[in-house]
Amino acid sequence: MFAVRATRTRHGFLQAAAVVFVLFLGFFWTAGAEGVPEDEAERLTLESAVQRGLTHATSLVLAQFSIEEAEIALEEALIGRLAGQPESTVQQAEADLADARESYIDTLVQVALQVEEAYYAVIRAEESLEIQRRTLEQAERQFAVARARYDAGLISRQELVQAELSYQQSLSSMARSERQVADARRQLARLIGADENTAFVLRDTFPFEPLEIALEDAVAEALARRSEVKRAERNLAQALLRLAQADNPYTAPVALRQAEMAVRRAEIQLEEAKVQVIDSIRQQWYALKDAEHNVASARQREQLALDNLAISEARFEAGMISLIDLLRDQASALEAQLNAAGAVWDHNLAKARFLRAIGRKELPPLPQHIADYIAGWED
């Protein structure tokens, strides 16, 4: 940090050196990794990032183990049926295998969503970094002008100190934005199985595109697609089948009562699953609509702040307002720009989560080994 000193020549040299250093670092962050020019960095689309994330995900390996265990249990049940074990054992093993496969798909979708969120986070952090870089350049120029005006006796010492504080804050914000970019890139690199120092440039753009879907349609789609509802429906079907098998003169009354309670339990669990899905979709639908509204509002506030800043700059040049007033409007404009950029990414994240919540498994082409594995499942 700098302080106003009598030795302004040395002070100005240090400030200029600090700005050059920060902008030098900023060049490399834009390139994708420190010390790597952009034309040498790897191009990474969202599709390729998701594919690499799926290939690298250990959670999918664990989910595949669960499927293999369920397949072994089913084979044992089929052999046991030949030895006289009840048909219900086979049916339960089949249901368990279906659950394991659905869990695998759920895990696959969750991994894809994590990569998508991490990809968005990098772009968002880099957008904020670029805004902070422009603000730092402006603050440095403003401080230089303020120092010259102070030396000429045109502004007060208070205004000079305020300009210096604004400059120092811009330096601090720039450093913080660089750390955020580095953290976001490290997180994405981990998810896709890349070295943390891998240089890559994100190539996709994501315009603001509101999702048009009524709440009632979203709820209906979720109830038809969500795995927990399907699982509860299978459990109910199995319970009803066991009850039908138990409903005969040879079944003990206690066993029949147990089968009846199992059916009722499965019915309750199905209703609870539906209620939870409905509540979740309703909350996420409203969150998505709020995010859409926030984009429009943030953009309006951004434009208003920029217009106010343009007026303040003209008034300052005409000597109608103080430097402190101008710096205040510059800070407001910066905040509005950051909020507007952040609102778009908040909406994109809310939209991605909402689509997953209603059960839309919108995925890029799967890695070949995963596609072949899923295609090999028996009906």
Query: pLDDT 10s digit of each residue in the chain, 379 long?
Result: 333 333 333 333 333 333 333 333 333 334 444 555 555 677 889 889 999 999 999 999 999 999 999 999 999 999 998 888 888 888 889 989 999 999 999 899 889 989 988 998 998 899 889 988 988 998 898 899 889 988 988 888 998 998 899 899 999 999 999 999 999 999 999 999 998 888 888 876 777 889 999 999 999 999 999 989 999 999 999 899 889 988 888 889 999 999 999 999 999 999 999 999 999 999 999 999 999 999 999 999 999 999 999 999 999 888 888 888 888 888 899 889 989 988 988 898 899 889 989 988 767 788 999 999 999 986 5
Q: Count the Cβ atoms, other than its own, within 10 Å of residue 65.
A: 12
- Residue 38's pLDDT is 57
Domain-located, residue 59: yes
The DSSP element (H or E) to which 320 belongs, if any, is none
- Chain Cα centroid distance, residue 337: 20
Using CB atoms within 10 A of its CB, is residue 357 exposed (0-12), middle (13-18) or buried (19+)?
Answer: buried
* Residue 55 located in a structural domain: yes
Q: In total, how many domains does the chain have?
A: 1
CB-count exposure of residue 157 (10 Å: 0-12, 13-18, 19+): exposed
Do the domain assignments include residue 187? yes
Do the Cβ atoms of 120 and 349 come closer than 8 Å? Answer: yes
State residue 42's pLDDT score.
79
- We report the CATH number of the domain holding residue 265 as 1.20.1600.10
**Does residue 5 lie within any of the structural domains?**
no
Question: In this structure, is residue 9 part of a structural domain?
Answer: no
CA separation for the pair 317, 9 (Å, rounded): 25
Residue 2 lies in a domain: no
Give the per-residue pLDDT at 8: 33
Q: How far is CA 193 from CA 54, 335, 365, 378, in A?
A: 9, 35, 18, 31
What is the pLDDT, as a whole number, of residue 4?
30
> Does 221 map to a domain?
yes
Q: What is the pLDDT of residue 146?
A: 87
Helices (H) and strands (E) in the chain, counts: 10, 2
Give me the domain span that covers residue 306: 15-205+214-375
Contacts for 120 with CB less than 8 Å, ≥ 6 apart: 206, 345, 348, 349, 352
Q: What does each C-alpha distance from 215 to 208, 226, 291 come to in angstroms?
A: 20, 16, 15
Token pair 């100005």 is found at: 12
Q: Is residue 6 assigned to a domain?
A: no
| Residue of 292, 297, 275, 301 lying closest to 346 (CA atoms) | 292
What is the model's pLDDT at position 93? 92
Rounded CA gap, 87 and 82, in Å? Answer: 10
Confidence at residue 251, expressed as pLDDT on a 0 to 100 scale: 84
pLDDT given at position 39: 58
